[in-house]
Chain A
């Protein structure tokens, strides 16, 4: 149950943040860095989603994922 709560809690937090921040055109957020460091940090934040997401859904990535959850269900 704890695993389930974590799973759905993360889902709600992620989607909620996305919904609200995009509504305001990414003009409000918790990040406080200024240029040029903000460019670097934002670029890293932006790159990590597509890259890591695609990597984790590859064959090798799913094998890694399956080890991260009970009963090998991380890939689900």
Chain B
């Protein structure tokens, strides 16, 4: 009843602006009227599927009239709920966009309410997860969130959940129980009002700023761009401030009294026969080799098995078991699994390894000779350190597009690692690249290992470790180890790059949603009060960026140079700031991380000039696609074609420095 009154207030008491942009006529009017009617019928159908009596309030008042307790309908899974989990919200959004009249009023109302239709059901789902438990988790796995397209296939490898996937590896009960207890995905806490307000205000601010484009003139019409540029500049200023002392930092040798830390390496591989010899050679060549190396073969169908037997002297173990040690390399073992995805494979290996530290290394990642030694030093020096990342340098391949992507990604990775250092300074580091990450094994087991339901299992695990640490007063920390370096294969084509960013951003949104109780939470100190609110803003950063760019294009195409000139002025200023930051970051990076590839100032400045109009747009497009992935719940991605390391020049693989 209250919702009905609210709706009436909104629509009946609205003060129209008086501007009508467009009104359909003739045949088009008829078509739009039909679409509008169909949208309302879909809404009616979805309300019936959800339980008409419950949705309209009939259930409640009838129970009152009959003096009986209401009988609630079961969790809705039939009718339109077979196609997507939120058909009521989808149908309602359709009614917003099929009206035959377009006005600025309608646009603003449609944008705000569509945003609500996208985000609001997330809270409803958290309630359902508490109310219905495992059946709802299973329903979530099998039915997409919002858009019924593309249809979700059952038993998608990366969607497998250790609790619900029919083909899931039987990980130990201990790990499952720990994950269930520590994961807010499986045990969702209530969402604090602060978190709702922080996320909501980011969306509301975008709507208000975007609306200014239609009612204001001059630079203020591009408010969404001004705010976007200011936000990015503020982040750069923060990183500059926090990395100011980095130039004087040098790697600390292990102190004489520090106990040595045993270390095992897990290389999760699925059809990586072409690169495995290189990866293993880099591991065998370490200045302090690991005690154990486990090749976790995740159901490879290429030459991996033959390679491991022929070249590395391993005997094929039964499925799910660890092989005997290699006859040629005593530390090397082979764990053979059916294809379940990287997180499940890592979990299985994590349970079989008995070293204090575990290093996860992707099969397309080549470690520099002292990488493991530097990691051991970092863990030996700090008993509270539970996760650390090394410095990765991307390699994309020799093609023209490969070189283009490598150029931009090299500087992007530099900025990202400096940013991680900056956040580490305020004990808020969350991003540990799973391609090359070190963990204290006991801590990972204690929180339940990697979550197979997440698109970015490494990022999610760090959130879980940090949340668990605060809730259980462990004082755990995470770190970036500048002296530990590696080369990694990175996407070298537009398609591969967009797919990677889609997955990263989709996984980021998943994690941000699951861990929303930490956002704005004082118990998590800077992490809760600064880092996670910034991440909340980042959820809409691509939308801000793309909107700003689209508005600029519209101004250019329509010849509105009164608007274009001040906007170009702002962009010019931002490029100058980027120039300065690029120079600073390259200077620091050269000193701190002694990079594995040539890093030149001139090339960095050129990248700063071109990036806002090229690479950055692609990044935002990939991220916006990630929103789609998050909302539809699709969790499968295509095969990555390795273009970089397999064909990289040998001097690069050997680690030539500038």
Contact = CB atoms under 8 A, between A and B. Distances in A.
Contacts of B102: 25
Contact residues on A (Cβ < 8 Å of other chain), bracket: 35 or more
B105 A25 contact: yes
B103 A27 contact: yes
Contact of B120 (A11, A15, A48, A50): A50
B127 interface: yes
Contact of B16 (A3, A28, A50, A58): A28
A14 B6 contact: yes
A74 B434 CA distance: 48
A59 B190 contact: yes
Given A15-B4, A23-B99, A4 B65 contact: yes
Interface string A61-76: 0000100111101101
B296 interface: no
A33 B15 contact: yes
Contacts of A14: 3-8, 11
A73 B7 contact: no
Contacts of A21: 11-12, 14
Contacts of B191: 58
A8 B49 CA distance: 19
A46 B108 CA distance: 9
A49 B6 contact: yes
Contact of A25 (B8, B64, B99, B124): B99
Interface in A1-58: 1, 3-4, 6-8, 10-11, 13-15, 17-35, 37-38, 41-43, 45-58
Contacts of A46: 10, 108-109, 112-113
Interface centre among A38, A41, A50 (most CB of B within 10 A): A50
A42 B105 contact: yes
Contacts of A22: 11, 95-96, 99, 106, 109
Contact of B62 (A4, A15, A45, A49): A4
B321 interface: no
Contacts of A24: 99, 101
B628 interface: no
Interface in B120-135: 120, 123-124, 127
B424 to A, nearest CB: 35
Interface size class of B (residues with CB under 8 A): 35 or more
Nearest to A22: B99
A14 B4 CA distance: 5
Interface in B49-93: 54, 56-65, 70, 72
Given A8-B56, A25-B106, A26-B106, A70 B10 contact: no
A38 B205 CA distance: 18
Contact of B15 (A4, A42, A52, A58): A42
A70 B64 contact: yes
Contacts, number: 181
Contacts of A57: 123-124, 127
Q: Which secondary structure characterizes the binding site on chain A?
A: helix
A32 B15 CA distance: 5
A30 B12 contact: yes
A29 B13 contact: yes
Given A14-B3, A25-B101, A7 B120 contact: no
B16 to A, nearest CB: 5
B1 interface: yes
Contacts of B57: 4, 7-8, 11, 76
B476 interface: no
Contacts of A26: 11, 14, 16, 103, 105-106, 109
Contacts of B15: 29, 31-34, 37-38, 41-42
A19 B112 CA distance: 17
A7 B61 contact: yes
Contact of B190 (A3, A15, A42, A58): A58
Given A22-B95, A26-B109, A38-B17, A73 B6 contact: no
Contact of A45 (B5, B10, B40, B200): B10
The interface centre, meaning the residue of B5, B10, B54, B106 with most chain A CB atoms within 10 A of its CB, is B10
27 contacts: A3-B64, A4-B57, A4-B62, A7-B1, A7-B56, A7-B61, A10-B5, A13-B4, A17-B8, A18-B7, A22-B96, A23-B36, A24-B99, A24-B101, A26-B16, A26-B105, A31-B16, A33-B15, A42-B108, A45-B10, A48-B6, A48-B9, A50-B200, A52-B6, A70-B64, A71-B64, A73-B60
Given A7-B1, A42-B108, A49-B6, 14 more contacts: A14-B7, A18-B11, A21-B14, A23-B101, A25-B100, A26-B16, A27-B20, A37-B15, A45-B13, A45-B14, A47-B204, A53-B120, A73-B70, A76-B57
The 5 closest A-B pairs by CB, nearest first: A25-B101, A31-B15, A76-B60, A14-B4, A14-B7
Interface of A: 1, 3-4, 6-8, 10-11, 13-15, 17-35, 37-38, 41-43, 45-59, 65, 68-71, 73-74, 76
